[in-house]
Amino acid sequence: MASAEQKPANMMYLRTIDPSIEQDMRYAGAHNFTGHRLDGYDAAECLLSVDTAKALARVQAALRLQGYGLKVFDCYRPSRAVADMGRFATEPGDPRKAEFYPRVDKQDFWRLGYVARVSGHSRGSTVDLTLTGPNALPADQWTPLAAPIDCTAPYEQRWHDGALDMGTGFDCFDERAHTANPSINATAKENRQRLSSAMEKEGFSGYSKEWWHFTFGGEGAPKDVMDFPITPISTRDAIAASGQLIVVTSKNWDDIQGTAQRYERDGTSFRKVGDAFPVMVGKNGMGWGKGLASVDAGEGPVKREGDGKAPAGVFKLGTAFGYDTTADTHLPYLSLTPSTECVDDGQSRRYNELVDGAEIAKDWSSSEHMRNEPGYRQGIFIEHNTPANAGSGSCIFFHIWRGPTSPTLGCTAMDQGDIAALLKWLDPRESPLLVQMPLAQYERFQEGWNLP
């Protein structure tokens, strides 16, 4: 067994690799088959080996091109949590039986293959997940007072986890949860097949008794069982996982002009790439945004929808986009059409997403029509407020500026030559990040976050 105290260097927070993968970490709370938070889950975070996390990001990228996505329920599981499950199975009481195992005696969990005495999750290469998509019912907000509904009940009746119909809910200890169970409906069979196929293409293998359970079999898959606790992510962890940084600083919170500099990792530090170049930020400067990790902001404004501020913080970079059908970039690329919109209506399920308004049933009253803005001839989605919280700000991009003195409504804009260089340079395999804030705040966090 590896050390029970320290997180190994090859174990990464999934949100530092791909924050677009949704997380509903069930064992960090009480909405699971035990009815309590498991030992070792001190934060609702998915950790995986770096190779497993990057493979999962590739699955997500492929699914997103088809209009689908992933939501994870469990990833690395400390061995103390496995022991906690074992204790539960031998102690009296069944607080969540009606939902998760209505037809099974919990003393039979091991015999039936639903609980393992040594779990592959504890090696950091096994993940429990589901499939999201346009026809999924919105996720419900669970509370201990929620009525338990049999996990094999029809899709409309059982707990709404925000995913597509997969035949049963997550952690459903029942034969209907077996991957190839013939009694589920055609839609659920199709969804299971779509998920399994996407996972298998990137080196994951499924488990016959749980449709949600996959293990990465790549060469870098860890062998040792681990027991370090899951703790909240730090910004330092996010930066340590990155091989490329774009640092944007301004003179103060209200300044509309800034300077950008590219960096590449050089061992434990970073080195400059090319010369610094000017950028324009929001017409009202910057405000602390919602990035990879919570920032102890101290004094300073907070970004809100429609406030004309660019977000300050640390952010992943998402899809590149533009008017042309292709682009010289390693990033995923979206060719904009007249029906491409970015939804800025906080009441929409598509809030802060790029969508094809001609293909998706609209539930929004406000959006940006991307082909109407000349500056979007080339751009990159900045993953501020991802996944989205209503009112925290939306549709934040790198894009071409109107001119060297023209501020934006919240984006970061630059000369066309500079954004073309960014597109060519950025490599998603390097987990690139945007670090953007006023210079005084950058200097405040520089040493603690190991910034250049």
What are the backbone dihedrals phi and psi of residue 205, each rounded to the nearest 5 degrees, phi first? -120, 145
- Alpha-carbon separation of residue 5 from 13, 19, 226, 229 (angstroms): 17, 26, 9, 7
Q: What amino acid is encoded at 334 in this protein?
A: L
Handedness of CA 77, 238, 315, 424 (dihedral sign): negative
Q: What amino acid is encoded at 366 in this protein?
A: S
Which residues, listed in sequence order, are joined to residue 264 by a DSSP beta bridge?
A: 244, 271
Specify whether the CB–CB gap between 342 and 368 falls below 8 A. Answer: yes
Query: According to CATH, what is the number of the domain 11-216?
Result: 3.30.1380.10
Distance of CA 150 to the CA centre of its chain: 29
pTM of the model: 0.66
- The residue behind tokens 């910034």 is 451
Q: Looking at per-residue confidence, does 121 or 386 come out higher?
A: 121
Taking only the tens place, the pLDDT of each residue in 20-46 is 888 999 999 999 999 999 999 998 899
Known active-site residue 210: yes
Q: What amino acid is encoded at 207 in this protein?
A: Y
Taking only the tens place, the pLDDT of each residue in 79-118 is 999 999 999 988 999 999 999 999 999 888 888 877 777 7
Helix (H) or strand (E) holding 436: strand 433-438
Domain ranges of the chain: 11-216, 235-445
Specify whether the CB–CB gap between 57 and 16 falls below 8 A. Answer: no
Taking only the tens place, the pLDDT of each residue in 177-199 is 999 999 999 999 999 999 999 99
Which tokens go with 337? 């059409």
Residues 6+ apart with CB under 8 A from 138: 160, 162, 349
Number of H helices, E strands in the chain: 8, 20
The single residue of 45, 99, 202, 210 carrying the catalytic annotation is 210
